[in-house]
């Protein structure tokens, strides 16, 4: 563990190095961010990130972050729980909530509860009323690198009052170090998705993928669906961890399998990435520089009773298990 930067408050941000299973990962205590991920004998990083801390405060579109307490968008920042209405932070285009608000989990300084050569456990707590949500939420994320080129993420949380809890890992994957992931091949184990309105809020319709550009049931270039920032409906409930998506670079031959317990997978092709920071490696980064695959509960579920729900109550435990597994030979 080493010092990586300093917050405006003067608090120190640490970086933890994990190595095992053919992977080397660097995780930050700020935002529980996966800052860098490398596969042995493959020079380029597998995720987008910054080599210095300062840009994470000013330019990061949630690169590698742990987002919540409620990932994705909530229409009007409005929630009703047990007949009580809560107004949440409206940090998305001044109208809706995104990823738990302007001061969500991705902006917190987490504590290191435990770590070893191949794993680290980070914890934090969001107090009752934080960003408008009811209930104190105690959150724990365990990162590990394990056999078979596996980056393993286990997220758990408890609350002392009914609240929403929907956490997501937000890395942008790029499997060859190129300028774009549009030619990466994607396969997704979903036959339905959620259409969205002009503000990227789900309309409530659950639409079949047949005949749409979003149909990735057989491998196809990511660019066929540009722009994509939609939830793919994997199941109606959280399930035992299973493979849900596969991504591969034809040029590098690197492939990745995503496995998760979650009922939804938000896929975002990075259409709005536009970062040019002189003096930093791997910039500029332009549109589609990385692909976000975010396992989670379906977005804006609190406004759609037919969606899987993100309500967490006292005595319950939120438990998400997600893996990203890398190998060669995809070409």
Count, residues in the chain:
331
The DSSP element (H or E) to which 58 belongs, if any, is: helix 54-58
Catalytic amino acids? 170, 294
Whole-number Å distance between alpha carbons of 232 and 206: 10
How distant, in Å, are the alpha carbons of 58, 122, 171, 175, 205 from that of 11? 17, 16, 24, 34, 45
Whole-number Å distance between alpha carbons of 136 and 280: 38
Q: Tally DSSP H helices, then E strands, for the chain.
A: 1, 27
Contact 255, 327 (CB under 8 A): yes
Q: What DSSP assignment string belongs to 273-300?
A: --B--TTSTT--B-TTSSEEEEEESPTT
Report the SS3 class of residue 156.
strand
How distant, in Å, are the alpha carbons of 180, 248, 249, 309 from that of 185? 12, 5, 6, 31
Q: Do the strands 12-20 and 2-6 form a parallel or antiparallel pair, or are they unpaired?
A: antiparallel
Contact 265, 72 (CB under 8 A): no
């Amino acid at each position: 563990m080493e010092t990586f930067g300093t917050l405006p408050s003067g608090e120190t941000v640490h970086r933890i190095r994990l190595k095992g299973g053919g992977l080397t990962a660097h995780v930050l205590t700020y935002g529980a961010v996966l800052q860098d991920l490398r596969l042995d004998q493959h020079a380029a990083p597998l995720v987008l990130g910054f080599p210095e801390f300062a840009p994470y405060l000013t330019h990061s579109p949630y690169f590698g972050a742990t987002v919540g307490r409620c990932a994705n968008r909530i229409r009007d920042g409005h929630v009703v729980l047990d007949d009580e209405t809560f107004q949440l932070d409206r940090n998305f285009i001044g109208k809706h909530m995104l990823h738990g608000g302007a001061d969500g989990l991705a902006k917190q300084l987490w504590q290191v509860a435990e770590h070893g050569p191949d794993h680290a456990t980070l914890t934090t707590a969001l107090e009752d009323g934080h960003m408008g949500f009811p209930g104190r939420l105690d959150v724990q994320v365990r990162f590990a690198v394990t056999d078979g080129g596996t980056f393993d993420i286990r997220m758990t949380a408890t609350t002392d009052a009914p609240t929403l809890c929907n956490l997501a890992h937000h890395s942008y994957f790029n499997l060859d170090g190129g300028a774009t992931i549009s030619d990466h091949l994607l396969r997704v184990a979903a036959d339905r998705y959620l259409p969205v309105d002009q503000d990227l809020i789900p309309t409530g319709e659950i639409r079949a993928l047949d005949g749409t550009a979003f149909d990735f049931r057989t491998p196809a270039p990511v660019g066929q669906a540009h722009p994509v920032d939609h939830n793919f409906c994997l199941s109606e409930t959280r399930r035992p961890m299973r493979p849900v998506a596969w991504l591969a670079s034809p040029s590098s031959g690197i492939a990745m399998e995503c496995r998760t317990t979650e009922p939804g997978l938000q896929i975002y092709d990075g259409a709005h990435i536009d970062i040019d920071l002189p003096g930093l490696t791997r910039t500029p980064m332009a549109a589609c520089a990385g692909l976000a695959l975010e396992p989670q509960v379906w977005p804006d579920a609190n406004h759609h009773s037919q969606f899987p729900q993100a309500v967490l109550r006292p005595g319950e435990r939120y438990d998400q298990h997600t893996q990203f597994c890398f190998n060669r030979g995809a070409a």
